Structure 1
Amino acid sequence: MTVRSVTFISEASAVRLKPLPGAAIISIMNPGEEAALLEGWEQLLRVSVADASYDERTIASYGRMWALSSRGFPTKEHALAIRAFLDQLPPNIETLIIHCGAGVSRSGAVAKYAAERFSTHFPSEYDRYNEALYRLLVNPAVFDDALALIPTKKLSLARRICAAIGICSAR
């Protein structure tokens, strides 16, 4: 067996949902928050990611401030964790439920990707999913080139002199 049904819902609905046989759940909450899900899910993944979307232009516009300004944004690591969870689902899991705060954008992105991955239904007209998270799920390296262009922090004068004369590293 394999996943035959992918559903995305709100946190309010998810915390009331009784664990179902043959069902897995992905719980997506803001960093520092955790949904009070009922115990007993066969498979559970908790992901802490803010409901923020971005693209290559956004990364470039933040420049040096990207690392500070993007804390909690969806990342390659989030996408890899979700993909690994989906890849390791046992054959008895037929239903996948994904929830986030409102049950709209983060859960929608993961549901869209999972539906494609498992060849199940996803509403073709639905366009309110988090595009950055979806793009990362499809290709975890999608933003690598844009992130590589961010200027690195300049070394202090003392550190540059120290590195120049070879008594410390340039890191």
Structure 2
Amino acid sequence: MAQRLQDILHKLYRPPTDRTRQVFALSRPDAEKLPLLPSIAVISITAPERPPAAIGDFAHVLRLSFADVDFLNPDLSERARGKLAHAFTEEQAEAIRSFVEALPDEICSLVIHCEGGYSRSCAVAVALHQLYGYQVELAHLTEANRSIVRVLMGDFRSHRKRKKTTR
């Protein structure tokens, strides 16, 4: 087992004592190895072309499917433009916020996974840190998808304006 996953498992078994929630971004393969602890909630993010992740029967799970595309970036590649139809939406952002706000007090840790564990899941972790004060390991979240962070934070006005001008 990789050292990073071992470190996260240690923290999941010993959550913060000050009642602050912690959030971790993982890859799909690592998330599929998680123990079914009652103190963990999971946000499972898969690519539109992939089946749901085999993460077990956690009591609190939100499953989403969207492409990994930095859709607010004006300099998108042709490949990225092809993913825009499956990009993260405001509705998905609201689903994440509602899910997090409804979690019971006994949930100490939130694990978010995407396919690789470095872009979409990191973006959600960064936004939860900024919105709700979740403890994070910022050094492991440097490749977070900026568009997802912006939409989750409610900073999507430029996205709306750009959509209007491209129609």
Q: TM-score range by the shorter chain?
A: 0.7 to 0.9
Aligned to 1:133: 148
Q: Which residue of 2 aligns with 1:30?
A: 47
Q: Match for residue 109 of structure 1? A: 123
Displacement of 1:58 after TM fit?
Answer: 4.8
Change over 3 Å in CA distance of 1:112–1:7 after alignment to 2:
same
Alignment of 1:57-96 (within 5 A): 57-58=74-75, 70-96=84-110
Percent sequence identity is 30
Q: 1:55 aligns with which of 72, 80, 92?
A: 72
Q: Deviations over 1:75-117 (max 9, x none)?
A: 2122111111111111211110000011101000011111223
- Label 1:140 to 1:81 Cα distance change in 2 as closer, same or farther (>3 A): farther
Give the corresponding residue for 2:6.
none
* RMSD over aligned Cα atoms: 2.4
Equivalent residue of 1:149, what SS?
Answer: helix
Distance change >3 Å, CA 112–CA 69, structure 1 → 2: closer
**1:79–1:140: 8 Å Cα contact kept in structure 2?**
no
Runs (4+) of structure 1 exceeding 4 A deviation are: none
Pair 1:56–1:9, CA change in 2 (3 A): closer
1:3–1:118 CA contact under 8 A, matched in 2: no
Task: Give the TM-score normalised by the residue count of structure 2.
Answer: 0.76
CA spacing shift, 1:102–1:90, aligned 2, 3 Å: same
